[in-house]
Structure 1
Amino acid sequence: MRSSGSGRNSGGRGNYRGAGNNRDERQGQGRPRKPRPEERRYDVGPGASQDGPKSGRGSAARGGAKGGPKKPQQSGRTAPARSREYEARAEERNRERYAGKKDIKLPKTFPGAEQEGERLQKVLARAGYGSRRACEELIEQARVEVNGEIVLEQGRRVDPEKDEVKVDGLTVATQSYQFFSLNKPAGVVSTMEDPEGRQCLGDYVTNRETRLFHVGRLDTETEGVILLTNHGELAHRLTHPKYGVKKTYLAAIVGPIPRDLGKRLKDGIQLEDGYARADHFRVVEQTGKNYLVEVTLHEGRKHIVRRMLAEAGFPVDKLVRTAFGPITLGDQKSGWLRRLSNTEVGMLMQEVDL
């Protein structure tokens, strides 16, 4: 009995193992059996087994789908090279084909392109009113007018030589004009060249590409604002008595001065070449007997301020012109040259109806 029992026990264990093995064989029928771990191959490269694990150093690393440079595929057929004679004949055929055809006109890329002139925003930008985008904003704000008409649309074309362009009512110098203000020191001659070799206005603008000339004159010993430009018509009008552009001076005199000195100057002082009248007079500063007075007048005769005050009994010790029309001296240092702003140029032109 023991022997038979032990035989069943051993037989049971044997049947369990045998059943497992038969089950593996039955499941493996009809499809390839997966190799066991000890039977798998871990080769890489072109000769790797299909059953091996995927590796980054396999065919993909040598130009596969995910990494490495791809090798150009060699096609079985290559296009034959064309000879020079063939290319020449093809070019000749193309010329003959299009010889009788008219030139194709491309459509305009924006409305009004057939018009002549320059775009308004480009003209304003060149005149110094900012970038083209900033000039477009000026147009959108209805601040720009051409020939008396306010411009509201973008892309308007103008002729800088003929059309009158204004911003905020002030004329824009659209041409290549230049405008400068010089604080002339004492001892400088009001000429662009001096045959005697003295220091003159031309010494301050020797590096300019265009020829400039001075607007009016100042005495050699008189300091202050003097304008330089290449705009002939503006310079002519600024000095013409018809337009009466005012100039303001500061004069140092020795007093005491009577209270009616200003009235006498406004009523007119008799000079050898006629009466001279001041438009404005005031005392700026007094230190003991030393007075600093301001005189404004629109005349431009030679030594006019010095002669008027001397005739009234008060010779001038020092004279400075602090303003020429709307252009003021401000804090500009002696001998310094500065370019006028667009607003200042517009005010000057407005002063003389340009």
Structure 2
Amino acid sequence: MEQGAEGIRLQKVLANAGVASRRVSEQLIVEGRVRVNGTVVTELGSRIDPEKDLVDVDGTAVQLDTTKRYVMLNKPTGVVSSMKDDRGRPDLRRYTQDWPERLYNVGRLDADTSGLLVLTNDGELAHVLAHPSFGVTKVYIAKVDGRVTAQTIATLTRGIELEDGPIQADKARLLDSSGGSSLVELTLHSGRNRIVRRMMAAVGHPVTELVRRQFGPLHLGTLPVGKVRELTKVERGALLTLSRQGSDQTDTGADPSGEDRENS
């Protein structure tokens, strides 16, 4: 961090980023609520380089690089998680046409799975959040065949054995069971391929429909299927905070190999 004549005053950087007014930003700095590159800064004369330095307020990352774009898509079924599909299937290009930046997807959802997918041009964030060693939490709603019992829910959280090793849901709950089907909510941090479908099949309840409702701090909310929107300032901050934590984790020895092939 630069304290000399070079760089931009920290309170001006915060104001330009939309954190608060210049006056309120000065108050945040004096109160010790602002960190630059992990170090608390309380001097109002402090200057930083917005292109290099990382800033957070109350532990939440602040986006300083305005060239980075963060978009949420409610992916429909039948669309593959690729910017160009070699087999000519519907891909993600149609959902990125409104932005001049070249966006790409963070992780993947199977073609027959719908729900929350993040599109961005922030390569570092995409790498960290899709990284299996980081284990970002995802929440799915699965419609399955048969009437799921409380015992089955307990089995999912206790853990089951699959062909590629044991797996357990972080959380599982039964939302509805009527007729010949049930709705189950599963929370997982695994990045293993088609894991929700394989788990439910293993307990005797094959998935007929699957949607991802949450990805880390992001919630799908009321975004209609097939629609996109930019993340809010609060959502961007939460996502960048998660990304920076993950980046620190990989820097301190987490296995950088592998890829989130998607857990649906």
Change (3 A) 1:166 1:270: same
Per the TM alignment, residue 136 of structure 1 is displaced from its structure 2 partner at its CA by 4.2
Change (3 A) 1:193 1:136: farther
| Aligned residue number for residue 118 of structure 1 | 8
Residue 254 (str. 1) matches residue 145 (str. 2):
yes
Alignment of 1:68-83 (within 5 A): none
Change (3 A) 1:182 1:130: farther
Q: 1:225 aligns with which of 113, 116, 135?
A: 116
Residue 160 (str. 1) matches residue 44 (str. 2):
no
* Count, aligned residues: 243
Q: Which has the larger helix fraction?
A: 1
Alignment of 1:54-65 (within 5 A): none
Once the two structures are superposed, residues 196-241 of structure 1 have per-residue CA deviations (whole angstroms, 9 ceiling, x without a partner) of 4432112111232222111110011111101111222221121222
Alpha-carbon distance in 2 for matches of 1:252, 1:123 = 47
Alpha-carbon distance in 1 for matches of 2:18, 2:210 = 34
| Aligned residue number for residue 240 of structure 2 | 349
Moved over 6 A (4+): none
Instruction: Structure 1: give runs of 5+ residues left out of the alignment.
Output: 1-111
Residue 234 (str. 1) matches residue 125 (str. 2):
yes
| Aligned residue number for residue 170 of structure 1 | 60
Higher relative contact order (CA 8 A, sep 6+): 2
Per the TM alignment, residue 295 of structure 1 is displaced from its structure 2 partner at its CA by 0.6
| Aligned residue number for residue 225 of structure 2 | 334
Once the two structures are superposed, residues 311-342 of structure 1 have per-residue CA deviations (whole angstroms, 9 ceiling, x without a partner) of 21111111010001111111111122122223
CA RMSD of aligned residues (A): 2.3
| Aligned residue number for residue 298 of structure 1 | 189
Q: 1:204 aligns with which of 81, 89, 95?
A: 95
Q: Which has the larger radius of gyration?
A: 1
Alpha-carbon distance in 2 for matches of 1:217, 1:238 = 11
| Aligned residue number for residue 258 of structure 2 | none
Per the TM alignment, residue 167 of structure 1 is displaced from its structure 2 partner at its CA by 1.3
Q: 1:311 aligns with which of 187, 195, 202?
A: 202
Residue 243 (str. 1) matches residue 134 (str. 2):
yes
Alpha-carbon distance in 2 for matches of 1:210, 1:169 = 28
Alpha-carbon distance in 2 for matches of 1:164, 1:316 = 43
TM-score by length of 2: 0.82
| SS in structure 1 of the partner of residue 150 of structure 2 | coil
Letter matched to residue 116 of structure 1: E
Instruction: Structure 2: give runs of 5+ residues left out of the alignment.
Output: 248-264
Letter matched to residue 122 of structure 1: K
Alpha-carbon distance in 2 for matches of 1:341, 1:120 = 22
Q: 1:324 aligns with which of 215, 220, 234?
A: 215
Residue 143 (str. 1) matches residue 50 (str. 2):
no
Alpha-carbon distance in 2 for matches of 1:137, 1:337 = 36
Alpha-carbon distance in 2 for matches of 1:131, 1:122 = 9
Alpha-carbon distance in 1 for matches of 2:160, 2:97 = 40
Alpha-carbon distance in 1 for matches of 2:45, 2:229 = 33
Alpha-carbon distance in 2 for matches of 1:129, 1:213 = 27
TM-score by length of 1: 0.63
Change (3 A) 1:130 1:187: farther
Change (3 A) 1:137 1:203: farther
Once the two structures are superposed, residues 58-91 of structure 1 have per-residue CA deviations (whole angstroms, 9 ceiling, x without a partner) of xxxxxxxxxxxxxxxxxxxxxxxxxxxxxxxxxx
Alignment of 1:29-108 (within 5 A): none
Letter matched to residue 246 of structure 1: T
Residue 270 (str. 1) matches residue 175 (str. 2):
no
Change (3 A) 1:275 1:247: same
| Aligned residue number for residue 182 of structure 1 | 73
Change (3 A) 1:199 1:132: farther
Q: Percent identity?
A: 49
Letter matched to residue 293 of structure 1: V
| Aligned residue number for residue 55 of structure 1 | none
Q: Which has the larger strand fraction?
A: 2
| Aligned residue number for residue 251 of structure 2 | none
